[in-house]
Amino acid sequence: MKRLFLMRPADSVTVLFLAFLLAVSLIFSRALPHAYGLILTYSLLLIVQIMLVRSPAPAGGNGVTGFVRNLIFPVVSVLIIFNSLEMLVHDLHPRDIDQALIKLDYLIFNGYPTIILEALQRPLLTDVLQVAYSTYYFLPISLGLLLMLRKRDGEFERTLFLILLCFYLSYIGYMLFPALGPRYTMDHLQGSELRGAFAAEPIQRVLNGLEGIKRDAFPSGHTAVSLVVSFLAFKYHRIFFYLTLPVIALLIFSTVYCRYHYVVDVLGGFILAALTCMMGERYYDYWEVRNDISR
């Protein structure tokens, strides 16, 4: 545990989360049809992460090893872990909580938000919001690259840790509160299909193919991660913050308009972002103090 604490936070949180997933896969292997595949996947990722930690690599992505450790591996690891949830979440927790989320939305709005928003539905607006929704996949990488190019190593390290922490906490949320989302559960109630002018359907097909069915509605990771990116951009790169602020606002609205999330999911995303920033910042500050003392 002492060695784990001495690792930089971005590495230690990944090691801990992969160890957690590996333990879950082992403990519940009889209930998981793809247990061996999951165990192999998490074991390999854990081995690679430990090898990268042990290899001499400067901070901030300098050099090939540093670039792999600080950008390539975190991106690939997050994507692989997310993809693995399709083989884990439903078998681990077969009862979805969509009905509870639908009821909460109804209590708040006295109606169903995705149906209420049909009054605003326009093909061009749908295209704009679907594109905004897709920027989620590029926002964290863009901020990280900007900090790396400016050689702001300390700020990059903190940014990497907080973004990874937010991803991993959202994945735990999916495991505890599996939900499909309104595009599946409320499709029969919608008055019309969500159609764009030229961009929405192709993007939807790509995302559906890549994401599959993960039961990843609650909390909204799109909301949480984007808000954490915005928080970090405000601290470290104001131009990026102001440029992406309207995009992130549209992204959050699109999660409901495009029928990916219930409003309760979005509220959960706000709470998750706040917890990530508060807990993550406090831990990182403490780690920096301890690290300075140890040297």
pLDDT over 70 at 7, yes or no: yes
- Among 61-65, 85-89, 103-107, 203-207, the minimum mean pLDDT is found in 61-65
Structural domains counted in the chain = 1
pLDDT given for residue 62 in this prediction: 60
More confident residue, 153 or 56: 153
Q: What is the mean pLDDT of the chain?
A: 91
pLDDT over 60 at 1, yes or no: no
The token pair that represents 166 in the structure block: 């937010």
CA distance 21 to 276: 20
pLDDT given for residue 54 in this prediction: 82
pLDDT given for residue 2 in this prediction: 56
Q: Write out the residue range of the structural domain in which residue 214 sits.
A: 2-294
pLDDT given for residue 60 in this prediction: 45
- Among 23-32, 83-92, 98-107, 203-212, the minimum mean pLDDT is found in 203-212
Q: Could you tell me which of 81, 57, 61, 59 has the C-alpha nearest to residue 72?
A: 61
Q: 131: exposed, middle or buried (C-beta count within 10 Å: 0-12, 13-18, 19+)? A: middle
Per residue in 160-210, pLDDT (tens digit) is: 999 999 999 999 999 999 999 999 999 988 888 888 888 888 988 888 777
CA distance 153 to 76: 21
**Cα angle at 38 between 33 and 7, to 5 degrees?**
155
pLDDT given for residue 56 in this prediction: 65
Contact 170, 186 (CB under 8 A): no
- Among 56-70, 71-85, 193-207, 230-244, the minimum mean pLDDT is found in 56-70
Q: Could you tell me which of 283, 71, 59 has the C-alpha nearest to residue 157?
A: 59
Phi/psi-derived region of residue 251, left when phi > 0, alpha when psi is between -120 and 50, beta in every other case: alpha
pLDDT over 70 at 293, yes or no: no
From first CA to last CA, the distance across the chain in angstroms is: 18
Per residue in 124-144, pLDDT (tens digit) is: 999 999 999 999 999 999 999
CA distance 204 to 195: 10
pLDDT given for residue 295 in this prediction: 41
Give percent of the chain with pLDDT exceeding 90: 74
